[in-house]
Amino acid sequence: MADYDYDLFTIGAGSGGVRASRMSASYGARVGVAEERYLGGTCVNVGCIPKKLFSYGGHYAHDFEDAAAYGWRVQEPGLDWPTLIANKNKEIERLNGIYRNILNNNNVDIHEARAVLKDAHTLDVGGKTVTADKILVATGGWPSVPDFPGNEHVITSNEAFFLEELPKRVLIVGGGYIAVEFAGILHGYGSQVTQLYRGDLFLRGFDQDLRTHLAEQMTKQGVDLRFNTNVTSVEKNGEVLAATLTDGSKIEADVILYATGREPNTRNLGLEEAGVDVSDKGVIPVDEKFRTNVPNIYALGDIIDRYQLTPVAIAEAMALAANLFDGKDFRMDYGDIATAVFSNPNIGTVGLTEEQAREQYGDIDIYRSTFRPLKHTLTGRGEQSLMKLIVDKLSDRVVGVHMVGPDAGEIIQGFAVALKAGATKAQFDATVGIHPTAAEEFVTMREPVSG
């Protein structure tokens, strides 16, 4: 390995790339990393972190209204949108600095430039030739917008985090978690929001009850949900955007946000020149140790298209670094990965959906509870929470836990440990709940609603 500049060179300093780089260096490897945009990748800069901050802010409108029921008298609230953007930017800059310090403190060389493969061991990094024994590609994903007349007038989630002012009317196109989250965020801040999705119901792949329940709650709040609908073209008339829909109708908006998917950020990286197989969609196939078809080139995170989640990329990176430089033989366990959607209300989910469980186990019990959160018994707000357990009858093992409601992600995290440990419904029943909390509902549901 002494013939090369580095033992490992990483392309991309997002969550996965940074973790793989610093852990490899901690095991004694000589490591370099190239990043052409910003340290921390999508999650830190235009993803998880700013999205969660925006989500917090979007809830305050309800909180101001609800406070009156608890005896608080507050003046009519006002919004200073630029303050939100400035404070968010300040926090992201702080996190960028933390990532820089992490790499520097672990003696990882940072190259703030684009890296392009020349062959299996050689890269052009900002015009400089660099060689490495092993190369890791961890360049993440990038928002994609379909081709249609006027698509140059729309924005993606990348730009949504930097809007100079809050738009009065927003059209959101898409049915994934990004579209659903921004619908809740912008509606919470006071925008008039219309969300379109080309399918029957958004959040494809999630449990059907969760999808249906969230749609009902969002409609109650005033979000205009339109399913089986898409945009055929967009025209710009002064400052107003006019979208023509598939039914021939038109809708005007100040901003049109497209959240119709993300694609692997693998174009023009020299992968083909290095002999790395890449699918038509830009996905890099890898084996269980994250090796591409070129033995010394590895890939992980969003570009291998397994689970597009930051903690998954970090776990993959930990396994890779330990295998390469600490003599381990780890495999990534993709079972029972919990996730949250920071919609309004939130979704938290782990394990199998009802549809998946029926297919896998056949004979299952479903426990489901819908109720008004205690907080709203005073406010009168009509919001309803949903909790659901899915149990394999033969083993009594709980194979799915799902929730729609406040703090769903926080609640589901603990139950994810239980599923990972193979907890049974009898063990759930034997657990004494914390009263009064929403979470106790998961250990007090006794009668199945269906089998």
Domain ranges of the chain: 6-142+263-325, 151-260, 339-443
In 3D space, the residue among 55, 57, 43, 54 whose CA is nearest the CA of residue 96 turns out to be 43
- What are the residues facing 341 on neighbouring strands? 347
Closest CA to 34 of 97, 116, 107, 93: 116
> Are residues 405 and 342 in contact, defined by beta-carbon separation less than 8 angstroms?
no
Amino acid present at 108: V
* Strand 240-245 to 250-253 pairing: antiparallel
pTM, to two decimals:
0.96
Given a cut of 60, whether residue 11 has pLDDT beyond it is yes
Our measurement of the distance from residue 256's CA atom to the centroid of its chain's CA atoms, rounded to an integer in Å, reads: 21
The pLDDT confidence band at residue 434, using thresholds 50, 70 and 90, is very high
3-state secondary structure of 141: strand
Structure-token match 């013939």, residue found: 3
pLDDT at 305: 83
- In sequence order, what DSSP letters do the residues of 348-371 get, joined into one string? EEEE--HHHHHHHHSSEEEEEEEE
* Across 67-93, average pLDDT: 95
Question: Fold for domain 151-260?
Answer: FAD/NAD(P)-binding domain (3.50.50)
For residue 71, give the amino acid letter: G
For the residues 439-450, what does the mean pLDDT come to?
95
pLDDT of 24: 98
pLDDT for res 235: 98
| Complete edge-to-edge strand list for the sheet that includes strand 231-237 | 231-237, 240-245, 250-253
Q: Taking a C-beta distance cutoff of 8 angstroms, is the pair 210, 237 a contact?
A: no
Alpha-carbon distance of 92 to 110, in angstroms, equals 19
Which pLDDT score, from 0 to 100, does residue 410 have?
Answer: 97
Q: What is the mean pLDDT of residues 20-34?
A: 98
- The pLDDT assigned to 74 comes to 87
Q: Which CATH number describes the domain made up of 6-142+263-325?
A: 3.50.50.60
Please say whether the beta carbons of 25 and 108 come within 8 A: yes
Which of 97 and 75 is assigned the larger pLDDT?
97
- Is the CB of residue 17 less than 8 Å from the CB of residue 32? no
Our separate counts of H helices and E strands in the chain read 13, 21
Q: How far apart are CA 217 and CA 240, in angstroms?
A: 29
Q: What's the pLDDT band for 135 if we cut at 50, 70, 90? A: very high
SS3 60: helix
What band does 303 get if pLDDT is binned at 50, 70 and 90?
very high
Does 349 have pLDDT greater than 70?
yes
Q: Fill in the amino acid letter for 140.
A: G
Phi, psi of 87 (to 5 degrees): -65, -40
Our CA angle for 207, 14, 203, nearest 5°, is 15
Q: Do domains 151-260 and 339-443 have the same CATH topology?
A: no
What pLDDT band is residue 227 in, cutting at 50, 70 and 90?
Answer: very high
Out of 59, 187, 213, 435, the active site residue is 435
3-state DSSP call for residue 29? coil
Query: Hey, what are 198's tokens?
Result: 């080309």
Q: How many CB atoms lie within 10 A of CB 394?
A: 10
CA distance 292 to 284: 7
Given pLDDT bands bounded at 50, 70 and 90, which one contains residue 2? low
Write out the two tokens for 296: 């010394």
| Cis amide leading into 143 (omega within 30) | no
Residues sharing a CB contact under 8 Å with residue 180, sequence separation 6 or more, in sequence order: 195, 202, 203, 214, 218, 341, 343
Residue range 204-221, pLDDT digits in tens: 999 999 999 999 999 999
CATH class in words for 339-443: alpha beta
- CA-nearest of 135, 140, 145, 112 to 265 is 140
Q: Is the pLDDT of residue 421 over 60?
A: yes
Verify whether residue 435 is a known catalytic residue.
Answer: yes
pLDDT in tens, 364-376: 999 999 999 999 9
